[in-house]
């Protein structure tokens, strides 16, 4: 795989307590997503946070990785649904840090045995660059369930 580089831009105005910022993707996929300290630690109020963006990135990375692993074993998914929840907590001596990232996935896949599915899930987690990055300083857990794929899915 070639070297991949992506960027994002942030503009922050004001102090930490009352200031606000906007996050934009270097690709233009999203722009000027608002965020602030109150949004980060209280109710989101239709704004985002760095931790929410990490959760989105982790869910996206894992979903793509699982699709690749399932396709590689001859059972491409009909549909994958992935939710990631990132937990930030106060850790003594470190302040507020991400302590956990939990993936919940549901996979609609035809023609795969449960053991082969679980192997694909484990390989997807191992191959997901965001799982590796987060695991360097926090826990990562993956809970995936196999749903029956039928003509209506």
pLDDT in tens, the chain (153 residues): 789 899 999 999 999 989 999 999 999 999 999 999 888 888 787 889 999 999 999 999 999 999 999 999 999 999 999 999 999 999 999 998 999 999 999 999 999 999 999 999 999 999 999 999 999 999 999 999 999 766 454
Name the token pair of 66: 């699982």
Residue 37's CB: how many other CB atoms inside 10 A? 16
Q: Is 14 left (phi over 0), alpha (psi -120 to 50) or beta?
A: left
Per-residue confidence (pLDDT) for residue 41, from 0 to 100: 84
Name the token pair of 15: 């102090």
Per-residue confidence (pLDDT) for residue 150, from 0 to 100: 64
**In sequence order, which ranges of 7-153 are alpha helices (DSSP H)?**
37-41, 50-72, 114-127, 129-135
CA 47 – CA 7 distance, rounded (Å): 20
Domains and CATH numbers, the chain: 8-41 (no CATH), 50-148 (3.30.300.20)
Predicted TM-score (pTM) of this structure: 0.91
- Burial of residue 117 (CB within 10 Å: 0-12, 13-18, 19+) is buried
Residue 63's CB: how many other CB atoms inside 10 A? 20
Nearest to 130 by CA among 144, 120, 119, 142: 142
């Amino acid at each position: 795989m070639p070297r991949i580089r992506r960027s994002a831009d942030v503009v922050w105005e004001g102090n930490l307590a009352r200031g606000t910022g906007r996050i934009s993707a270097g690709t233009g996929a999203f722009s000027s997503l608002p965020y602030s300290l109150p949004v980060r630690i209280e109710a989101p109020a239709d704004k985002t946070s760095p931790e929410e963006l990490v959760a989105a990135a982790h869910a996206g990375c894992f979903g793509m990785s699982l699709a690749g692993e399932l396709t590689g074993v001859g059972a491409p998914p009909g549909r994958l649904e992935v939710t990631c929840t990132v937990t930030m907590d106060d850790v003594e001596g470190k302040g507020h840090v991400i302590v956990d990232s939990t993936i919940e996935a549901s996979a609609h896949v035809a023609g795969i045995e449960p053991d082969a599915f679980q192997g694909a899930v484990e390989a997807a987690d191992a191959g997901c660059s965001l799982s590796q990055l987060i695991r360097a300083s926090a826990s990562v857990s993956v809970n995936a369930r196999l749903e029956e794929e039928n003509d209506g899915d």
